[in-house]
Amino acid sequence: MEGGERLQRQLLVTTGPLGTLQLPGSDLWLQEKPQHVARWREAVQQEQQQKKRQKGGVDQVDVQQQPGSVEAAAAAAAAAAAGDAAQDALPLSACSDVLPPELVTAAEKLLQQRLSQLRAAVRRQVDWYFSPSNWKQDHYLRDQAVVYPPSTEGREGGGRGREGSQPLGEKKLAVPLQLVLGFPRLQRLTRDAAFVVACLQGGGGGLKHVEVSGPSNDLLLRKEGERGA
């Protein structure tokens, strides 16, 4: 039993915000021939050596500037959080040179499906925080909200206070994204701010009460028409 468990652990992959998963059908491939085990272990060792060379944070900045950086950055966090299991894991992108094409294709299809489900769940959860039913009873969330965009007239001598000269109907209530990231229900889905922003901005529907804004996409705005709810 211990040997079987060890074999299964050899075919874990880090999959971005989905965490660390086992590839479907990969345990059978691993047990077919001894060289499959050696091939996988060699790939894992190479990946670990590469991570050691990249240690220091410089490469993390580079990764965040590349396409697909949301999944790449979250994959690093998932690997760190996975503990011992992550020591036997590979990023899915590194599996194409190790596993048969049919396994990689099946894994990509499954993981994309799960990733779509996770994105939808994140959108639903964040949108629910700003829905009329929750907004009415969540005094803490309401107390953290500020009018956005902020008025500059008061600082320029206009003296009209918080609302300034902009009509109230053109303003919305904003809550910091970092505040919402601390809510337990969202944390059970993800703790990655960039991934949450990508979920909310990436389409797919499901958003009725909230949108992303701010100079650094760091604010969640309650949509127009929800102020009096």
Looking at residue 97, the DSSP 8-state letter turns out to be T
**Confidence bin at 210 (pLDDT 50/70/90):** very high
Mean pLDDT, residues 23-38 taken together: 77
Helices 101-129 and 193-201: crossing angle in degrees, nearest 10, is 80
User: Which sequence spans correspond to the domains of the chain?
Assistant: 2-99, 119-222
Q: Which residue has the tokens 């499954």?
A: 110
- Rounded to the nearest 5°, which phi and psi values hold at 215? -60, -25
Give the closest residue to 115 by CA, choosing from 74, 83, 80. Answer: 74
The predicted structure's pLDDT at residue 178: 96
Fold assignment, 119-222: Arc Repressor Mutant, subunit A (1.10.10)
Torsion 99-100-101-107 (CA) sign: negative
Dig out the tokens for 126 from the structure: 């964040």
The predicted structure's pLDDT at residue 81: 37
Strands 219-222 and 210-213: antiparallel
Opening angle at CA 81, ends 77 and 85, nearest 5: 115
